[in-house]
Structure formats: C-alpha cells, structure tokens
Amino acid sequence: MLLAARLDYHNVMDDVTFSPRAALVYKPVPSHTVRATYNHAFQTPTANQFFTDILGVRDLFEGQRLEPLLGFAPTTDLRAQGVPGGGFSFRRDPFGAPMFRSPYARLGGLSESDYIGLNDESFTNVMWSVARDASVAGLGVGFVDQGLLTSEEAEAVSGALATVLPLQVEGVTNALFKLDLEREGFVPVNDVESIEPLRVSRTQTYELGYKGVLGDRVFFGIDVYHTRVRDFFGPFAVATPNVFLDGTTLQSELYNDLQVALSDPENAEAAEALAVFDTMPGIGNGNGSAADEVSFLVGRALAAAIPFGTVSPEQAFDETAVLLTRQNFGNISLNGLDFNVMYHVTRRWALGGTFSWVSDNYFDHNELGDDDPTQAVSLNAPRQKYSASVRYTDPGLGFAAELRGRYVGEFPVRSDVYIGTVDAYTVVDLSVDYRVPFSPNTRLTLTVQNVLDNEHKEFVDVPDLGRLGLLRISHAF
C-alpha cells in the first residue's frame, strides 16, 4: 500500500487544500498486477482567471450603423473580465429588479455610467424613439433587398411610417435576453444573480486497474475509473443579459395606435402605401388593414431586436459591455475505461490497439443545476477513441517503423468563445526511426501524420489539417 498527501495554501483565496492519495497494489504472480487507487486533486484559479481584461469584439451589435440617425455610434463591446475577489454584484431598483446601463444613455440626458431601471417609462420611450427612426429609415429598404418591394414602394413606406407610427408609447415593458454563443442568438432570462468569487475546484477519482502478460507475447492493461468534480471551472461565458423592448407589449400598443391612425381619412395615402404588407406573400393576411402586419414587423421583428443596454455588474471595467467571465459550476461525475494491448507476433513484428471511453463529455445547465439555459460545460474531448497499429523492429540494423490508425469520435467544444462540434475523423500515421551506421549515437526519425491526407479539424474555428511530415536528427553525447 502506498499513501501520500499534500497541503496547499492559496494566499489570494485564503484557502487551504488537503489532497490525500492512496494506492493498493496486488501481484499474485510477477506477470500480473491488480491495483486500486484513490486520488484527490485540486485546481486553483489562474492569474488569468482573476485578472483578465480582454476586448473580445468591438461594437458587437454594430451600433455604428445607427450613427447617421443619432449623430453618434452606440457601441456595445464583448469583453472578458476576471472575477474580482469579492465577486460581481448587480444594482437593483427599490422593487428588486436589476438595473442596466446603456450606450444610448445620452439620448435621455444620462451618461453611460448611470443606472436605469427596467420598465422606466421615460427611457423606454428613448428606446422607442431609436427603434421608430430605425423602422422609418430601414424597414422598407430591407424588403427591397429581398426583392419584395421596389425602391419607390420602399420610399412610400418610409413616409407612411413616419406619419402613422406614434411618437410615444404607453404600457410597453422591457425584456431581458442573454446572448447565447452556442446558438448564436439570444435566449430569454428572468433575472440575473450575483456572481460569487471563484472557488478551488476539487476532483476525486477512484480507479481499478489490471496489467498482465500472457505467454510472453501478449501485454495488456485495462483501467476503469469514476471521477467526481466539485465546483467545476467553466469556460468564459456570458454573464450579463441585455435589455430589449418587450415585443409582445410593443406590438399590442402599436396595433391599437395603427388601427386608429390607418382608419383616419387624413392618413389615406399612408394607409395605401402600407397596404403592400397586407398582400405580401408570407406576411400579409389580406384582411384589408396593414395594422397587424406593420405592428408585427416594427414591434416584434425590428424594434424588439435591438439591444438597448446591458445589466452590467458594478465591478465591470466597461460599463455597457456584454461581459464574459468564468464561474464555478455545480458538481459533475463521470465514468471511464481505458484499454490497451500489444501482441508480439515475432521478435520483430508486433500488433497493438487501444480503446478509451468516457460516459459523458458535455453537461448542460440542467445537469449543472443551473436555471440559465446558456450555461454548459464540455470536456472538449470525445466520448470514445481507439487505435490500431503494426510495428516492425530490427535491433541489429537499428531500424524501427510503426503504422498506426486512429479514430476520434465526434465531440462538442465549449472553450470560451470557441463553441461548436468537431466531427469524427480517422487518420493514419507513420513513424520511422533509424540509427546511422557510421555514427551509432545519431538517429534519424521521420514522422508523417495523416499519411492519407484526410483533411479534418481537431478543434473548432481552426484550419483543416492535412498531411504533415517531420524529419528529426538527434545525436546523443
């Protein structure tokens, strides 16, 4: 039996970690070994996780497109920031609702550092004024690009919208949506919770292994294990929801206003210009009024799609940025198996194989015990992979060669902003090692990865990999 332990102290976190290890090894005969092990490991946050301040994407929502309308560009960046010692806290209004900061704040006589309450009627109308101007300027143009309107019809639509859309709205609320990098869109959230300081991640592994030799020709080993991780470190993930005009209440308000405006004889010309939406394929319902179509297009499709602010923590360096940060997630557990075998056919020829399997490599928010659907962690590794090889060795000539085929299964990736899926791939590798006859301490090693030039990716957002050859010369003194 082997026993070991270590004690670690982290001065930044003021935390002491005790890590015991134990192994029980049994050898009934020299050629067979059974072992049982227990290991307690830990991982502390890195300096990068504590103190990161990296601009990921400038002007994430392309606010510069609104500069001609507003006279300035309301930009919202995507920024990664480390978790401070006290964590992140969010300011709330007297009713407990989270408050936000906005790059449009100057339109309401505020600065970007000022907090704004959700559903604040005054600022909601600031948001509506931006959405209204954007609708007047761009709704018709978008349908020209799709070939559904002519330029003349789009110009008439803009003039009509400027006439019938209300300057102020009542009863319109705000909605919170969080950017989901995996789905490349927004998902609704109800609230935001304070982010606790980072904690030490602790791993416990129980392993049972067997290694043996059969007839001096077959060498094999098998290991099965169970691993539990507490306070798993996740990748950089979006921690701050964005504030939008609520599409449901805005559409309802616009529909009521447009019903009145379009039935007014003084707006007959505007009603005629907007009637193209009532008969437009896939959009119009042909009921003789464009009120429902326009209220949907403006209220839901356009105005409710503009992020007007960010529920940013008080400790954020960039007050209006969408914040990426690391967090500890709940406990996860998984099982795994590793197997390897080598069969020596002759003194020079050998056949080998390996197989690895893990029970789970992706944990969604339900498995992590988190209500936020955007939260998930991935091992960034396949659930199964295996290989087969043939090896030739001639000690007299100082020559060895191996041909190996490898299969790697499909696996999801969630590593900071790198999110996606790596497709399964199979490659064949070749390695040749030769001892130079006239210089016994000199060796030539040729390695060719992916001999068959099967182009594939081994991670997301990286170039395809093809054949790669490496020649190495080494000399031992």
Read off the pTM.
0.79
- CB 314 within 8 Å of CB 329: no
Q: Is 283 helix (H, G, I), strand (E, B) or coil?
A: coil
Q: Calculate helix-pair angle for 151-164, 121-145, nearest 10 degrees.
A: 160
61: closest CA among 323, 432, 340, 321? 321
Say how far apart CA 307 and CA 379 lie, in whole Å.
Answer: 32
Give residue 1's pLDDT: 82
388: closest CA among 357, 424, 355, 352? 352
Rounded to the nearest angstrom, the gap between the alpha carbon of residue 163 and the centroid of all alpha carbons in its chain is 43
Q: Which residue has the tokens 């805005």?
A: 250
Rounded to the nearest angstrom, the gap between the alpha carbon of residue 37 and the centroid of all alpha carbons in its chain is 35
The tens place of each residue's pLDDT in the chain, 477 residues long, gives 889 998 888 777 777 888 999 999 999 998 999 999 999 998 888 887 788 899 989 999 999 999 998 999 999 999 999 988 889 999 999 999 999 999 999 999 999 999 999 999 999 999 999 999 999 998 998 898 888 899 999 999 999 999 999 999 999 999 999 998 877 889 999 899 899 888 889 999 999 999 999 888 999 999 999 999 998 887 888 999 999 999 999 999 999 999 999 999 999 999 999 999 999 988 888 898 999 999 999 999 999 999 999 999 999 999 999 999 988 877 889 999 999 999 999 999 999 999 999 999 998 877 777 777 777 888 999 999 999 999 999 988 899 999 999 999 999 998 877 889 999 999 999 999 999 988 888 999 999 999 999 999 999 989 999 999 999 999 888
Say how far apart CA 71 and CA 180 lie, in whole Å.
Answer: 30
CA separation, residue 10 to residues 47, 200, 329 (Å):
12, 9, 20
- Where do the structural domains in the chain lie, given as residue ranges? 1-44+199-232, 49-193+240-325, 333-477
Q: Is 454 helix (H, G, I), strand (E, B) or coil?
A: coil
Say how far apart CA 454 and CA 459 lie, in whole Å.
Answer: 15
- CB 423 within 8 Å of CB 457: yes
Q: Calculate helix-pair angle for 268-278, 247-263, nearest 10 degrees.
A: 130
- CB 202 within 8 Å of CB 218: no
Say how far apart CA 33 and CA 223 lie, in whole Å.
Answer: 12
**What region, left, alpha or beta, does residue 286 occupy, with left being phi > 0 and alpha being psi -120 to 50 degrees?**
left
Give residue 352's pLDDT: 97
Say how far apart CA 422 and CA 382 lie, in whole Å.
Answer: 9
Beta bridge partners of 4: 21
Q: Is 266 helix (H, G, I), strand (E, B) or coil?
A: helix
CA separation, residue 88 to residues 44, 126, 187 (Å):
19, 28, 22
Positive or negative, the Cα torsion across 323, 324, 327, 329? positive
Say how far apart CA 303 and CA 139 lie, in whole Å.
Answer: 10
Q: Determine which helix (DSSP H) or strand (DSSP E) holds 264, and give its type and residue range.
A: none
Q: Amino acid letter at 272?
A: E
213: closest CA among 6, 418, 87, 30? 30
CA separation, residue 444 to residues 162, 222, 345, 392 (Å):
77, 33, 26, 16
Say how far apart CA 8 and CA 18 lie, in whole Å.
Answer: 7
Q: What angle do CA 123, 305, 106 make, to 5 degrees?
A: 30
Strand segments, DSSP code E, in 140-217 are 174-180, 185-188, 201-214
Give residue 15's pLDDT: 77
Say how far apart CA 159 and CA 175 lie, in whole Å.
Answer: 29
Q: What angle do CA 194, 198, 199 make, to 5 degrees?
A: 125
Pairing mode, strands 237-238 and 322-325: antiparallel
Sheet containing strand 78-81, edge to edge, reads 53-57, 78-81, 322-325, 237-238
Give residue 267's pLDDT: 94
Beta bridge partners of 338: 223, 356
Q: Amino acid letter at 416?
A: D
Task: For residue 256, report the phi and psi dihedrals to the nearest 5 degrees.
Answer: -65, -45
Q: Which residue has the tokens 């403006």?
A: 298
Task: For residue 191, report the phi and psi dihedrals to the nearest 5 degrees.
Answer: -160, 180
254: closest CA among 303, 214, 205? 303
Based on its alpha-carbon atoms, the radius of gyration of the chain, rounded to whole angstroms, reads: 31
Q: Calculate helix-pair angle for 268-278, 151-164, nearest 10 degrees.
A: 120
